[in-house]
Chain A
């Protein structure tokens, strides 16, 4: 079974530039998450999709971050304009449809992440 695919693996941009990350979840997984992991911290949820609808985007800085999941499969996360403090690893994860499931079926599976450096 193929895992969660993310690209690019690394990206270096100047502040005020824009950047986009792509994620392809595990086939059949209805729930998709984007997490931000700053060095020395645990991953922090940015946004959660259920199919192509947004479930939770309360921690997404909407003045500069946007995300979409067209057709309920692939997803993109965009930052425009980037700030120095956006330097982090951006992790995409997916899980089975969390609604109506026992907790044991809700484990999230992560991609390798995109390491973003803003200079």
Chain B
């Protein structure tokens, strides 16, 4: 039962353009959403998060948008850089389950020069 879904396995974007990664969830109890970045042979690295009481959170080139009514969130990277090439995982958690992370399958982002 996949509660967090990333329907795009891969995305290719030119350097300097915007990268938009999408994520959908089904569990209405989720109240905290996170994006992790993963390079090969490394563990996931926390990137940015958003609480369910907000609809936008920004950190430098990274912005996460949350649409609770649609149970949808997205990660925007502007401008994209070659070093952003990695697998991006969307994750969601809930206070009533100890904030354990439920992950999507990931989206592989390739930023080309």
Contact A91 B41 (CB under 8 A): no
Q: How many residues of B contact A (CB 8 A)?
A: 28
CB-nearest residue of chain B relative to A106? B99
Q: How far in angstroms is the closest Cβ of chain B from A58?
A: 10
Which one of A13-21, A41-49, A63-71, A75-83 is at the interface?
Answer: A41-49
With A40-B105, A103-B31, A107-B34 as contacts: A112 and B98 at CB distance below 8 Å: no
Residues of B within 8 A of A35 (CB): 101
Name the interface residues of A18-74: CB closer than 8 Å to any CB of B.
Answer: 31, 33, 35, 40-45, 48, 50, 55-56
Q: How far in angstroms is the closest Cβ of chain B from A109?
A: 7
With A42-B4, A110-B45 as contacts: A48 and B100 at CB distance below 8 Å: yes
With A56-B100, A98-B99 as contacts: A42 and B105 at CB distance below 8 Å: yes
Which one of B13-21, B66-74, B89-97 is at the interface?
Answer: B89-97
Alpha-carbon gap, A17 to B95, bound state (A) = 38
CB-nearest residue of chain B relative to A40? B105
Whether, in the assembled complex, B51 has its beta carbon less than 8 Å from a beta carbon of chain A, the answer is yes
Alpha-carbon gap, A15 to B91, bound state (A) = 32
Whether, in the assembled complex, B65 has its beta carbon less than 8 Å from a beta carbon of chain A, the answer is no
Contact A42 B103 (CB under 8 A): yes
Residues of B within 8 A of A (CB): 4, 6, 31-32, 34, 36, 41-46, 49, 51, 89, 91, 93, 95, 97-106
Residues of A within 8 A of B (CB): 4, 31, 33, 35, 40-45, 48, 50, 55-56, 91, 93, 95, 98-99, 103-104, 106-113
New A-B contacts (20) at CB < 8 Å, excluding given A41-B105, A107-B46, A107-B49: A42-B105, A43-B89, A43-B103, A44-B103, A48-B100, A55-B98, A55-B100, A56-B97, A93-B43, A95-B99, A99-B98, A103-B32, A103-B51, A104-B49, A104-B51, A106-B32, A106-B93, A109-B46, A110-B44, A112-B42
